[in-house]
Structure 1
Amino acid sequence: MPASFMLPRQVRIGDAAAFAGCTPRAIRHYHEIGLLPEPERGGDDRRRYGYEDMIRLLWIRRMADAGIALEDIREAFAEDPVDAHGGDGIEAVLERVEEALAAQEAELRRQRTAVQRMRVEGSRMGLLSDLVTDRLKGLPEGSLRQADLDTLLVTERIFGPLGAAVQATRFVALATHPALREESDRIDAAEKALDDSVAVDDPRVAQVAAERHAFESALHAVIEESGLDADDDALFDAWDAARPETGDDDEKDGSGSGSGRGMSVLEATGKMPYDLSPARLRCMELAEGLSLTSKV
């Protein structure tokens, strides 16, 4: 070092920021929140930072880079003002930070697994639970519709993975029986036509209800003949075996994401909007009545 070079005893805020690896604005913020004491000003009314100021600033930057919140750094300094940067004053803070980082890592792993699953199963299919996805595997390409997946998504939200997996049986039957799918489309269109312009006592309401009942009976027969109902029974058995009674419905949710927790079936159903006209609701009631009558 040249003999003519004089080491500064104090530096301005710009030099302090450059040395610490931050900005003057950050240093001013540290002053505002009481993290870094306000230094004395020189004759030009500008802040001047000395050796101790710089040491504290460096520790603040290192701790912030490690993920410690500024409020926690301030708390650590307050608990151990003499040796906050080298002693036990920040042990509790570091423990909290480590726990938070571990939780973040676990969440990142969960998110990465979900993204990878979406890429393997398909962007929509991969959003459903494993139980539902496994039920739909092996179907002919293009036989499963977007509306089918939308319905399963809603069902899983309300009734959980098991309910959606059982409902998936319906779409498996439709996907593997083109004539049945065609009839389903026809009934769906007839029901959709029962809009607000149709009176609840219109003869078409009862007619469509009868057609819906006939279709559902035919669908149920196909499910039985193809052995899909036996698959449903196996689903229930496997579910019960994997989740013994604990008295805690949350533990039996099984979604893994918590998305269906904290809301009863009735609450969830009441919060999901359906654009159904009075005539269509009456049609559903009549179809349900026919179904109950046929079982007696």
Structure 2
Amino acid sequence: MASGITIGQAAAFVGVTVKTIRHYHRLGLVDEPPRDGSDYRRYGSSDLLRLVQVRTLAESGVPLSEIGALLGADPQRFAADLAEVKRRLTERIEELTARRDSLDRLVNGDRALLPDRACALLDRAADLGFAPDAVAAYREGMLLAKALVPEGFDDYLTEAEHALDDTRFVALNKQCWAAKDWQPDDPRIEELATAVADRFLANPALLAIPNSLQASTDATRYGLLNHHGEEQAPAVARLTTLVEAKLRSAGVDIPHQ
């Protein structure tokens, strides 16, 4: 009678697949047992023990590339190596937990991407009667500002707070949003641009531009923020350009594109 069991039986006993055992062999984690007279490899008790050890360590999170050295280490080294594996697993668990928590926050929309202060401004804009698509555009602007000028984001939010405190400016802002459906040559655009520029000049707090955007070398970042989405609204593009021109003519330093 042949001594030992076949690879299929060994796989069933250990709780892995035949393919996994052969992979262990290729990596040198488990020596291939000798073949019997029928050219079948026969696995004995020592082979099964080694398979169980490798499988257990692998399932515990030890990389296969480290298992060979781990099993060959003395007890003290074995314990130290396992402690290191545990440390790495703990870091991985914390990382995955943070990702899971981020996904949970996504259920609440903006709060996963913007600080509470910014979310409060978006809520306030909605309460003031801004249309949902307008609030969505403000959200995009905040996300861009946070990414492009993180060092000036608090200033950006302060400017937004000043804007929502100014009832006249809020009314003008709603008109500006309605202008996206106008034709670019609509004469009302010139009138609206004058009204907006006059309001900026009457309330200088509305003109606060983060210091990080004031340098002429940062005109690109300023343009990405202040002209975001205009390619889809030619009338708004003309309105913004007119407002900026009027403010420059009044002596306000606004970066050129």
TM-score (norm 2): 0.68
- Determine the structure 1 residue equivalent to 2:139: 149
| Structure 1 residues not aligned, in runs of 5+ | 1-5, 195-203, 237-264
Residue 290 of structure 1 pairs with residue 241 of structure 2: no
Partner SS, residue 41 of structure 1: coil
Contact 1:210 1:287 in 2 (8 A): no
- Determine the structure 1 residue equivalent to 2:114: 128
What residue identity is the alignment partner of 1:292? R
- Measure, in 2, the Cα distance between the counterparts of 1:176 and 1:9: 93
Q: CA deviation at 1:48?
A: 1.2
- Measure, in 2, the Cα distance between the counterparts of 1:43 and 1:175: 95
The alpha-carbon distance between structure 1 residues 71 and 115, as it changes in their structure 2 partners (threshold 3 A), is same
Matches within 5 A, 1:144-183: 145-160=135-150, 161-162=153-154, 165-166=157-158, 168-169=160-161, 172=164, 179-183=171-175
- Measure, in 1, the Cα distance between the counterparts of 2:46 and 2:21: 14
- Measure, in 1, the Cα distance between the counterparts of 2:200 and 2:190: 15
- Measure, in 1, the Cα distance between the counterparts of 2:89 and 2:76: 20
- Determine the structure 2 residue equivalent to 1:106: 94
What do the CA deviations read for 1:122-148 (whole angstroms, capped 9, x no partner)? 323543223322444455557452222
Partner SS, residue 62 of structure 2: coil
> Identity of paired residues, percent?
26
- Determine the structure 2 residue equivalent to 1:21: 15
Identify the structure with the greater helix proportion: 2
- Measure, in 1, the Cα distance between the counterparts of 2:223 and 2:87: 38
The counterpart of 1:87, out of the listed 75, 79, 82, is: 75
- Measure, in 2, the Cα distance between the counterparts of 1:129 and 1:63: 42
What do the CA deviations read for 1:227-258 (whole angstroms, capped 9, x no partner)? x99xx9xxx9xxxxxxxxxxxxxxxxxxxxxx
What residue identity is the alignment partner of 1:130? D
The alpha-carbon distance between structure 1 residues 269 and 127, as it changes in their structure 2 partners (threshold 3 A), is same
Q: CA deviation at 1:149?
A: 1.4
- Determine the structure 2 residue equivalent to 1:185: 177
What residue identity is the alignment partner of 2:82? L
What residue identity is the alignment partner of 2:157? A
- Measure, in 2, the Cα distance between the counterparts of 1:127 and 1:100: 28
Residue 58 of structure 1 pairs with residue 44 of structure 2: no
- Measure, in 1, the Cα distance between the counterparts of 2:220 and 2:124: 35
Work out the number of aligned pairs and report it: 235
- Measure, in 2, the Cα distance between the counterparts of 1:44 and 1:157: 68
What residue identity is the alignment partner of 1:47? R
Q: Which moved more, 1:58-67 or 1:136-145?
A: 136-145
Contact 1:12 1:47 in 2 (8 A): yes
Q: Which moved more, 1:173-182 or 1:107-116?
A: 173-182
| Structure 2 residues not aligned, in runs of 5+ | 211-217, 253-257
- Determine the structure 2 residue equivalent to 1:3: none
- Determine the structure 2 residue equivalent to 1:33: 27
